[in-house]
A and B are shown apart, each in its own frame.
Chain A
């Protein structure tokens, strides 16, 4: 709870900083403050508590995921230092929006009441609409924001309808009541319909097939840093929320719901990966890659013993790899019109370190060992195989193979071609974020217990 308050307060302080003309130290200050909040958050570990009539429930699930979100926000804020060089007067707005976004994300994993859940998801979404459309004069950014907004609102409507039906069935928004209702035998039909609507709304947020269409367009059009936010923070948040809701409502779910999950998971992977093969724009490619990762993450919900630890690990691995990749993309495409793969040519020669970071990030996403992505996939396979879904594992394996195809397109461009552009400057924040992301990726890749043991 303190964490949530502190985050919101930090957002307000950021806005005040602009008034106080302290723009120059805004980013370092926010980073330090976020680190402080991270510490604050860690104090709640192993201290389950609920606040305000169970509006907010702080447990290990929420603490660990919130910690991950804070770390990711720290990265995103740090990357923002250089990203808004052309509109310095708006820096504080963007930083503040990111921090509000974080508060929404934190609310989404620590809600104890569907009202908080709805607020959280809307805070997150509205922040993202703004960020996506934030390049006012750029038609692509506008289009991206508009598409996201229209479709996001549509999904919000569905979520709201779902909440409404659940409320109608049990007369409460409280998660404890919902969990009880889920296991009880006689409950109104609406309850299930509401659950399904809720799930579909969240499937939209994590961009699972067939609700994924917005993702590539929005990712491509949005400013790169926003794309980074969407593909790391927003995606993991939505997935964690989905997990939490699913866990709460999975009391006596019919077998068919598993089938649906298996099919959606397999479809998301396959569609995402195959579509990514022929993309020239890196952001768009990563959007499709994100769709396939959504499919992988859906696998955590499959099986007899679903494991939050696995999801946390997968999300962490995926997000760190994404941060690493986007820090390089931000660097490479700073002064360029688009993020096409050709722009990455020769990076291995001009900036070997960044090329290395991008390579490791991509290898991690592809699931190649010593990087975190490998263990993430391993645990998923292990869990799904135990529950007997060999076919899904095979699909996942085939997809991992396809994925290598497009990840390597980027690596090839970096190492086998000559640079087309002069690349100057060694922006500190980008290098720092890239380094830290790489180290974190390697650390949890070599010692996965560090993360998985947080949630047992």
Chain B
């Protein structure tokens, strides 16, 4: 791993992560389908996870990879909750378009 990292350079990993992260952000911003928004958030998190792993290798330190497990577990819990909410929304209004969620405003 270390070799690959040295060849590619840590900066490129960072750029990749940032790119992925931004893709996630734009996904959240521009998509109205709640599932896609959720997936975009997952892309954001995974972009970070990627970077964690890269840094972990870069520093030759296992903490970063352990952290990835944390974050994956947390993300899973989050998604579980999110999907549960999504289901109940779908039951109530028959749609999962987030732009329909405008009852609370003003």
Q: Are the C-beta atoms of B105 and A217 separated by less than 8 Å?
A: yes
Cβ of A167 under 8 Å from chain B: yes
* 14 intermolecular pairs with C-beta atoms under 8 Å apart: A115-B63, A115-B67, A118-B71, A118-B74, A119-B70, A129-B82, A139-B89, A142-B88, A143-B103, A146-B98, A150-B28, A161-B47, A171-B55, A221-B104
Q: Are the C-beta atoms of B24 and A150 separated by less than 8 Å?
A: no
Q: Could you mark each residue 33-77 of chain B with 1 if its beta carbon is under 8 Å from any beta carbon of chain A, else 0?
A: 010011001001101100110110011010110110011001001
Across the interface, name the chain B residue whose C-beta is closest to A128.
B81
Q: Are the C-beta atoms of A168 and B63 separated by less than 8 Å?
A: no
6 A-B pairs besides A126-B74, A165-B51 with CB distance below 8 A are: A129-B85, A142-B89, A146-B98, A150-B41, A164-B55, A190-B14
Across the interface, name the chain A residue whose C-beta is closest to B63.
A173
User: Given A156-B78, A157-B21, A168-B51, A147–B14 Cβ distance below 8 Å?
Assistant: no
Binding site for A on B (CB under 8 A): 10, 14, 17, 21, 24-25, 28, 34, 37-38, 41, 44-45, 47-48, 51-52, 54-55, 58-59, 61, 63-64, 66-67, 70-71, 74, 77-78, 81-82, 84-86, 88-89, 92-93, 98, 101, 103-106
Report B-chain residues with C-beta under 8 Å of the C-beta of A142. 85, 88-89, 92
Near B by CB (< 8 A), chain A positions 409-440 give none
Cβ of A137 under 8 Å from chain B: yes
A119, A133, A153, A279, most chain B CB atoms within 10 A: A153
Cβ of A200 under 8 Å from chain B: no
Q: Classify the secondary structure of B's interface with A.
A: helix
Report A-chain residues with C-beta under 8 Å of the C-beta of B64. 167
Question: Shortest CB–CB separation between residue A54 and chain B, in angstroms?
Answer: 12
Cβ of A307 under 8 Å from chain B: no
Cβ of A130 under 8 Å from chain B: yes
Q: Are the C-beta atoms of A171 and B61 separated by less than 8 Å?
A: yes
User: Given A122-B77, A217-B105, A133–B21 Cβ distance below 8 Å?
Assistant: no
Q: How far is the CA of A252 from the CA of B89 in the complex (A)?
A: 47
Q: Are the C-beta atoms of B103 and A146 separated by less than 8 Å?
A: no
Q: Are the C-beta atoms of A129 and B103 separated by less than 8 Å?
A: no
Cβ of A244 under 8 Å from chain B: no
Cβ of A309 under 8 Å from chain B: no
Cβ of A160 under 8 Å from chain B: yes
Across the interface, name the chain B residue whose C-beta is closest to A113.
B63
Across the interface, name the chain A residue whose C-beta is closest to B105.
A217
Contact of A168 among B21, B24, B58 (CB under 8 A): B58
Q: Are the C-beta atoms of B55 and A149 separated by less than 8 Å?
A: no
Q: How far is the CA of A137 from the CA of B87 in the complex (A)?
A: 11
User: Given A146-B89, A147-B104, A126–B78 Cβ distance below 8 Å?
Assistant: yes
Question: Shortest CB–CB separation between residue A357 and chain B, in angstroms?
Answer: 27
Q: Are the C-beta atoms of B52 and A149 separated by less than 8 Å?
A: no
Q: Are the C-beta atoms of B41 and A146 separated by less than 8 Å?
A: no
Report A-chain residues with C-beta under 8 Å of the C-beta of B21. 157, 161
Report B-chain residues with C-beta under 8 Å of the C-beta of A125. 78
Q: How far is the CA of A136 from the CA of B84 in the complex (A)?
A: 10
Report A-chain residues with C-beta under 8 Å of the C-beta of B77. 122, 126
Q: Could you mark each residue 54-76 of chain A with 1 if its beta carbon is under 8 Å from any beta carbon of chain B, else 0?
A: 00000000000000000000000
